[in-house]
Every structure is written in C-alpha cells, then in structure tokens.
Structure 1
C-alpha cells in the first residue's frame, strides 16, 4: 500500500479549483513573490476590471500602469509575508479602482508552495465603515448640542447683563470721548452674542418644498465664482436624472456653501505638498444616484449623492475624528462653525455627510434621501 503524504497546494491545483472560487463574494487573488497575479476569482476580476487577457500580464507591483488603481497598502508587506511565510491582515485599506474609492479588508496568506505563492483576500467594508461613521457623527452631534446648551447658559446671559451695564454707564458719562469705550464693550458683547446664535443654528421655522438640488448647487457655484481666487477652478459634474428633493433650499444652500468655502480655504492655505498633488487647484461639485444607503438607521434604496471634491492638502489625521465638532478648525483664523452647522442642516434633512481624505484628494460626500418624511422636530 502506497504511503500518502500531506502536500502543499500547487498552482495547478489552485487553477483547477478556480471555478469553485468564482462562487465567493470575496475577491481572491493568487500572486507570486514578484506580485504577478496568477489567479483571480470572478469577484476580484469584476472589482479590478480584469479580463482574462489582462490577467495574464497583471502585476500588483505596477498597479497604476496595469490595473489603473491605487492602494494604500504597502505592497512590500506582501513580498515579506511570502518570504517569511507569515500571514497578516489590514482592516482599513483604501483602494481606488475605476475612479471609485472603496474601503477594503485585506488578508494575505502564504501558501508555502515552491512557486512562492500567496492568497490575497479582498473584502469590501464600505457599508460597515459608513455605519461606523454615522454612529460617530451622531455622537459628535449630541456632544455639540450639549456644548451649545452650556455655552448658551454660561455666555449669553452674562453678556446681556454686561451689555446692559455698559448702556447704563454710557448714559451717566458726561465726556463724549469716554463713550467710545462703552461702545466698544457693547460692540464686543453683540459680536459674542451673534457667535453663540450661530452655534445655536438657524432659529427661523424651516420651509420644506420640492426643489432641484442642482439649482441650489448652481447658486452656490455662482456665489463661489465671485468669492474664490481665479487660480481655483470650479467645475460641475451633474447627474440630470436626480429628481426633485423635499428640502429647505435656503438652509441646504448654506450647508453646501459652508463645505465649498472650507474646500476653497484649504486650497488657498496649501503650502508644501508632495509630487502626487496636481498643481492646478480645483473644486468639483459632483452629483450621482447612490443605491442602498443607510441613513439615520433607515435603509434607502435610492439617495441623492453630492460630492464636493478638492485636490488640496487633505484633512490632517488629528482632525478627522472631530472635524464636525463646533469650534474645531484647522485654520488659525477659523471659527470651526461652518462644518458643524452644515452637518446639523443635513441631518435635519434626514441625510448624512461623510469625509474621505488623503493628500491631494478630499471628498465631502452628502447623502440626501429622495423620499423625505418630515419629523416633528423639523
């Protein structure tokens, strides 16, 4: 009786089982130590746009040239994993494929073959990340409201007393030149009072009606064309199939304007960037229809997606988790109110705002439901 021994899988064995791998929803690649792709299942071929012919020459080491994609994972880790025969995984890898940005989880497992092969699994985690971002935004919004209530109690009431005292003092003064100082006190008290009002947000009753979101974006574009530097190009890429949305157009215009102004200020504050950044400063307003998006705990089959994109330096890592908090700003002159108010307006429209940022590419992505039902607090 012939003795059997345990053997490692060969490339021929893997190729023979490729039909079975095609049934998986997870993308599966088999690469060698030179990162040449020897096998890709159906999910991976669809994700990376690999035809059988392109698959024969595809190489992860030449992702920009061969696959027209960019990946934040250090590919040297894959070579090292094959050489040292150890597995690893990374749960937050940004992958740009066919112009679309995706968050994926990557697992690399050496197969111990003579050819030095490794199995790479690519699993989309976009939906999980969106849910996590939405929960984080809710936490931020709750913290912002608590901060606003504290500020309103601790600042606005004493300011009213301070202003009243200054007015009484002004009436008692005989010398006109001294009234200049009481006017200074009154002016600064009014300025701080307005700042607190801005933290509290719009106080007027909202008016919701059907309107085309592109009309709102065009008004924002017109305002920004007059305000921004000529060296910044403002372009639009609209999907005309998006139907009218139920909205408070004036408030949404303010929200969009705040985000676009933030992008313009980031571009104008840009100093030293690496070679990947395009020299031409550019802001793009882009609209599309997005499918199956979770907004405030409710799954929507179709939503309007508005992307405000700039090619500036990106949002600093230390600010990304708290960017929508009031009084948080990356600029010395910034008040940190614009994005906080924009988030509040969008959430009151039952929408969501998300951020994707890297050096040379920042996107604020706004999702608004196509079917809007008014809540009592609106």
Structure 2
C-alpha cells in the first residue's frame, strides 16, 4: 500500500536531511525545513526560484544537474563548496536523483543535502584540543627537565659567591643567578596559570568592558573599540582574573599588530561581539547553551605560515613577541571547557571564543 503524497510530504518535513524537489527547469517545487536551514531561505521565498540562484557551485555542477535529468542517472558529490544567495559559503554533501513528480508525472530532480560545516568544525576542534593537550604535556615535561638543573645552577652560583676572594667578582655570579631566574620565569609563563581557578558568577560583558578599558589605556586612545553585545546572555561561572587575562592577550596582540602596521586609509578598530548559541558542540561535548565572543580587528592579518601552529608556545609573527599570550589564553579557555578559533585575512582577523554557560 503506497503512502499518500500528503503523508510523504509530512515525513520529509521531519527529516534532518535537506530535501529539495526541482522541476525540469531546475526551479524549486518543494523544500523541507532542513533544506531551508541549510540554504538559509524560507520555503515560501524559494518556491519557483531556480535552484542555482539560491545555491550556486559552478557551471559544470549546473550542467551535471541537467544531464542527470536527461540521462536519468543519479550521482553524489562530497564536500562541495556552495555559494548561497546571501554571499555566504557552505560546505555540503548532496545527492541528485531523477524521478517523476508523484502527481504530475513530469520529470524532476530530488536533491538530498547534508551540511558538512558543523561536522568539519567539530573534527577541526577535536584535532586542535588534541594538539593542545599534546603540547601541554610536552611543555610540562620540558619544564621539569629545565627547572631541576636551573635550581642546581642557581644554588651553585650562590655558594660560589660566598667563596669569592673579592666582592667585584660577584658581578659574574649575579649574572648567573639573574639568568637562571629569567629562564625559570619563562618556563612558568609557558606552563600558564599555576593556581586553581577561583570561580565565581561573572558577567562576560563586565569582563569585556574591563579589557576595553585596558586596551584604550595601552593604545593611548588610538584604537576605536566597537561593541556589539547581546544583553540577554546570562552570567557564567569562571575565574574573573583569568578570563580578563585570556581576552586581553588576544586584544593586545591585535592592538600591537595594528599599531605596528598602521594603515592611513583605515584607522585601527577592534570589534567586540557576543552571541548566545544553543545546542552547540565543543570537542566531544554538546552544550545546551554557549556564549560566543568574537574579537575582530582590521589589522594586517596573521601570516599564513604560522596559522597552523599559532596556539603553540613560542610561536609569534612579531620580532618582539614572546609567543606565549595565545597559548596561555587557549589554556585558560580550555580549563572552562571552551575553545578559541580564528579566521584571518589581510584587513580582518577574528578570534572566536566559545564558552559553555553551564558546567558539564
């Protein structure tokens, strides 16, 4: 017994897979809600519009649609980059199947869409978290191997200083002691925060305002700070001081890049944007509610050759940089079960910080 067309439509409306039905002119006859979400258009607005006007890949892909309609052959394409009607890009898997319309019996195409952006982002985050954990373990082991002999060197220099025949020779032992202390401090900074977080209920916007004040002072009021806050975001539990430090490190890097590479046609600008996100996955965990903080600057961008290793200790694009700020920021955010991602091109760099608003 065949299901009625109305029952088939109701079933398709509850699928997680995007379903689009096209006529012989590749105009949209039907879209289910999943397809509307993937293509970022309502079914009412999309009905009757040529599919390539809403989601364009290439002339070859459009011709493949027409060939499938003529030849009656199905095909599938993986991880296709689609340009949507709003100039945004999406990565999709799609399958194209020719069939006859259940009511008119005219030839049409059934297009099944599966979004890949979210899965690719989750995979990328898992790799980033694994790399960060490997790096932290490496740094901890290295710190242990460095600090032990440093303590011995410093102690030996202090004992030697007592046995020196003249006081003017103490200058050399002082250099040994000072350099040993400097290396110890460097190793401690590589390890990040050494104390347990002192968590309390904080408002993320109060933290951002504190960061904005510090940036304004450090830049001597030369950087315009634009705020785009979502006031509905609830308080979260975190260490206020560490959170200020994590966000300030990111802003300070942006500030220094813009100040060192001034563009006379584009005054330096820093944008702080907050949004809440529901049912969002970070690594292996799905969170009911997450706050996303975007910090965007209009500086020169991050050199492509260091982007893959940007969060590693001692990696920096600045001759005077230590390469520790972003590594420390990522460690602090990871302690809160969050993660930092970034996108960069000349003239625009955005660091996105994702923080769960509820503990696991």
Q: Structure 1 residues 336, 200: CA separation in 2 closer, same or farther (over 3 Å shift)?
A: same
Counterpart pick for 2:349 among 345, 352, 362: 362
Tell me whether 1:293 sits opposite 2:288 in the alignment. Answer: no
Q: C-alpha separation between the residues in 2 aligned to 1:94 and 1:248? A: 41
Q: Superposed, which structure 2 residues align to 1:217-228 within 5 Å?
A: 217-228=208-219
Q: C-alpha separation between the residues in 1 aligned to 2:244 and 2:82? A: 31
Using the size of structure 1 for normalisation, the TM-score is 0.71
Shifted more, 220-229 versus 41-50: the winner is 41-50
Q: Structure 1 residues 266, 151: CA separation in 2 closer, same or farther (over 3 Å shift)?
A: same
Shifted more, 239-248 versus 134-143: the winner is 134-143
Shifted more, 134-143 versus 215-224: the winner is 134-143
- Deviations 1:124-182, CA, capped at 9 Å, x for gaps: 22321232123112211221222222221221112122222332333315152x43333
Q: Structure 1 residues 309, 247: CA separation in 2 closer, same or farther (over 3 Å shift)?
A: same
Other-structure match for 1:149: 140
Other-structure match for 1:353: 340
Q: C-alpha separation between the residues in 1 aligned to 2:135 and 2:205? A: 30
Counterpart pick for 1:162 among 153, 160, 163: 153
Q: CA deviation at 1:359?
A: 3.9
Q: Structure 1 residues 321, 23: CA separation in 2 closer, same or farther (over 3 Å shift)?
A: same
Counterpart pick for 2:199 among 197, 208, 212: 208
Q: Structure 1 residues 359, 119: CA separation in 2 closer, same or farther (over 3 Å shift)?
A: farther
Q: C-alpha separation between the residues in 1 aligned to 2:64 and 2:97? A: 7
**Matched residue of 1:206: which SS?**
coil
**Matched residue of 2:309: which SS?**
coil
Q: Structure 1 residues 182, 242: CA separation in 2 closer, same or farther (over 3 Å shift)?
A: same
Counterpart pick for 2:323 among 315, 336, 347: 336
Other-structure match for 1:26: 18
Q: Structure 1 residues 283, 144: CA separation in 2 closer, same or farther (over 3 Å shift)?
A: same
Tell me whether 1:193 sits opposite 2:184 in the alignment. Answer: yes
**Matched residue of 1:305: which SS?**
strand
Q: C-alpha separation between the residues in 1 aligned to 2:153 and 2:59? A: 64
Q: Superposed, which structure 2 residues align to 1:5-154 within 5 Å?
A: 25-26=17-18, 38-39=27-28, 41=31, 47-49=39-41, 75=58, 78=61, 89=77, 91=79, 93=81, 103-105=90-92, 123-154=114-145
Q: How many residues align?
A: 333
Conserved? CA contact 1:102–1:124, under 8 Å: no
Q: C-alpha separation between the residues in 1 aligned to 2:341 and 2:19? A: 26
Q: CA deviation at 1:48?
A: 4.2
**Matched residue of 1:104: which SS?**
strand
Using the size of structure 2 for normalisation, the TM-score is 0.74
Conserved? CA contact 1:312–1:360, under 8 Å: yes
Q: Structure 1 residues 296, 44: CA separation in 2 closer, same or farther (over 3 Å shift)?
A: closer
Conserved? CA contact 1:93–1:106, under 8 Å: no
Q: Structure 1 residues 326, 23: CA separation in 2 closer, same or farther (over 3 Å shift)?
A: same
User: Which runs of 5 or more residues in structure 1 are unaligned?
Assistant: 1-17, 62-66, 112-117, 273-277, 374-378
Q: CA deviation at 1:345?
A: 1.0
Q: CA RMSD in A?
A: 4.1
